[in-house]
Structure 1
Amino acid sequence: MLKYVNHDIVFQEFPDEVTLAINLSRCPCACPGCHSTYLWGDNGEELTLDRLRALAEHYGTTITCLSLMGGDNDPRSVLELLATIREEYPHLHTGWYSGRDQLPLFFSEYTPPTYVKIGAWRAELGPLSSPSTNQRLYRYDEDGESEDITHRFWKK
C-alpha cells in the first residue's frame, strides 16, 4: 500500500516539465543525510487510483508531468498507478523517484514512467546536479527504451 503525505507543483525534478510531485511515506531506504526523514514513517493517507485521478483532474493542463516521489516499499503499486495515469491521461508525462540503486526485476512488465530517477542519497557524491552523483535520471520512450539524461542537471 502506498501512502502520501503531501504534494506540490515543482519545476526542477524533470527537465522542461511542470510537475505535480506527490511525496510518498513509508520509505524503507533511510538514506543517511536524507532531507525528507518525515517520509520514513507510516503517515499520510492511502494513495488510491481514484485519489490519483482526482489530483490529475484538479491540476488538469497546468501540469505536464505527474510524479511519485518514493514508493520503494511497494514498487509494483507505483508502476501500476503510473502506467494507468499514462494511459488515461496521454497528455501527462509520468515520473518516479526511487531511492534504490536498481530497478525492481519486474520493471519491464509495466509501461514505464516517462522518467525514472534511481539511486540512494549519498551526500559525499552530491545530488543530480553534481557530475559526481551516483543518482541517475532516465527518460523512457513508448517502446521502453531509455536514455540517461542526468547530464541535463549539470551546469555548463
Structure 2
Amino acid sequence: MYFNDFQIVLQEVPGEVSLCLTISGCPHRCEGCHSPFLWKEGSGQQLTHEIFRGMLYKYYGFATCVVFMGGEWHQAELIENLRCAKDKGYKTCLYTGLEKVDKEILKHLTWIKTGQWITARGGLDSKSTNQKFIEVKTNKILNHLFIKK
C-alpha cells in the first residue's frame, strides 16, 4: 500500500482531529475526480508498519482519528493499519467511492464515507449528494453534520 499524501485535517470527520492518508492505486476512476494522479498504483511512498506507527506515536494525544482516503483495494494491509490505529486509541474512518465495502473492513471502522463523486450532486456538504457519511456501529447516516446552516 502506497500513500501519496499525509495531512492533519479537521473537516473529514466532524469533531475529530484526523490523520489523513491518501492512498494511491484507486481503481474507481470517478468522472470529475479531483485527484486522478491517485489512480496510478504505487505512486507516492510505501506505507510501512514503521512509518504508520511513527505517525500514530507522533500525533498521539493531539489527533483522535485516522482517515484513509481509499485503500479498500488493499484489504489486508488496510485492516492491519486500522487495527493498529484502534489499538493505539484512535477512531477510524474510510472514504471510499464504493457503495459498500467488505464486512471485514467495516469491523475496524468507526465511520465510513461511501459513494462515488458525481459532480452534479456534490459532496457531503450538498443536500443532493449521493454520498453517505455513516457511523458504522449504529448504521446512522450523519450527512447533516456537513451541511452548513
After TM superposition, is the score higher than 0.5? yes
For residues 121 and 109 of structure 1, the distance between their equivalents in structure 2, rounded to whole angstroms, comes to 21
Deviation, structure 1 residue 85: 1.5
Q: Please tell me the residue identity of whatever aligns with 1:65.
A: C
Q: Percent of pairs identical after alignment?
A: 32
Which position in structure 1 is the counterpart of 2:96? 98
TM-score by length of 1: 0.87
Which position in structure 1 is the counterpart of 2:4? 5
Structure 1 outlier segments of 4+, above 6 Å? none
Which stretches in structure 2 are left out of the alignment for 5+ residues?
A: none
Q: 1:122 to 1:75 in 2, by over 3 A?
A: farther
Q: How does 1:1-156 map to 2 (within 5 A)?
A: 2-42=1-41, 43-86=43-86, 88-90=87-89, 92-104=90-102, 107-108=103-104, 111-141=107-137, 145-156=138-149
Deviations 1:47-106 (A, max 9, x none): 1333211111111212111111111322342233212311x212x2111111112222xx
Q: Indicate conservation of the 8 Å contact 1:83/1:111, yes or no.
A: no
Q: Indicate conservation of the 8 Å contact 1:29/1:72, yes or no.
A: no
Deviation, structure 1 residue 108: 4.3
Deviation, structure 1 residue 34: 0.6
Q: 1:57 to 1:28 in 2, by over 3 A?
A: same
SS of residue in 2 equivalent to 1:62: coil
Q: Please tell me the residue identity of whatever aligns with 1:120.
A: Q
SS of residue in 2 equivalent to 1:57: helix
SS of residue in 2 equivalent to 1:67: strand
Alpha-carbon RMSD: 1.6
